């Protein structure tokens, strides 16, 4: 039976000591895996973004930090978002859909790079392209019969390195089973949304 952990890809923890593969500290990653296996609380994380409207279609999204294993990790970032001029924006920054697709791709890229490193695969190429269609009649409220979001997404992964096709297939399977954003976008997630006026 296959498991849903990076550890299932590791040949042997003793063979990965003091190696950096694909820019990943393999020993450090393996140590984190072992620590979380010993104490599952170390694997508990919380992520948050505080968003502010900047007028028009502009918004700034502030990342102050996240919680990993019960400890707060400061991460001061601001993500700026806008819309194309054709959608009443200024075209100054990427829009929410482009960030959504980038977030899927980026999350999976972390998985490919890290899992490949544990498997001993040195990557020479890794590119992801994800596309989808949205009918603006749903978003603009023109037709209630039109879905406001994606009906499906298409993704192409272009990858190469020192591994067989069979090993790359295994890598692809592991990443699709363990990527948080692949999970998030391919399954319905309950979301409680409440409004506070004033």
pLDDT value, residue 7: 54
* Residues 84-107 pLDDT 10s: 999 999 999 999 999 999 999 999
Which among 54, 74, 93 is the end of a domain?
Answer: 93
Quick check: 126 and 158 in contact, CB under 8 A? yes
Q: How many domains does the chain have?
A: 2
Cα–Cα dist 93/82, whole Å:
5
CB within 8 A of 129, min separation 6: which ones? Answer: 105, 155, 156, 158
List the domain range (segments joined by +) for residue 101: 94-188
pLDDT value, residue 4: 46
DSSP 3-state of 148: coil
The answer as to whether 9 is a domain residue is no
Residue 150, domain CATH:
3.30.300.20
The H-assigned helical ranges of 120-160 are 136-139
The answer as to whether 111 is a domain residue is yes
pTM of the model: 0.89
């Amino acid at each position: 039976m296959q498991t849903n952990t990076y550890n299932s890809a590791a040949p042997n923890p003793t063979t990965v000591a003091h190696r950096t593969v694909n820019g990943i500290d393999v020993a450090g990653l393996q140590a984190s895996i072992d620590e979380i296996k010993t104490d599952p609380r170390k694997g508990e994380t919380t992520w948050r973004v505080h968003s502010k409207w900047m007028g028009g279609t502009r918004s700034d999204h502030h990342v102050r930090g996240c919680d990993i294993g019960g400890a707060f990790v400061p991460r001061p970032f601001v993500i700026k978002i806008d819309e194309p001029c054709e959608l009443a924006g200024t075209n100054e920054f990427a829009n929410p859909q482009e960030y959504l697709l980038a977030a899927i791709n980026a999350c999976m890229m972390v998985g490919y790079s890290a899992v490949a490193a544990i498997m001993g695969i040195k990557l020479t190429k890794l590119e992801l392209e994800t596309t989808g269609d949205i009918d603006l009649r749903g978003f603009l409220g023109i037709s209630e019969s039109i879905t406001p979001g994606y009906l499906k997404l298409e993704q192409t992964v272009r990858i190469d390195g020192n591994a067989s096709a069979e090993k790359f297939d295994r890598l692809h399977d592991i990443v699709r089973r363990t990527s948080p954003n692949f999970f998030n976008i391919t399954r319905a997630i309950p979301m409680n949304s409440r409004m506070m006026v004033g």
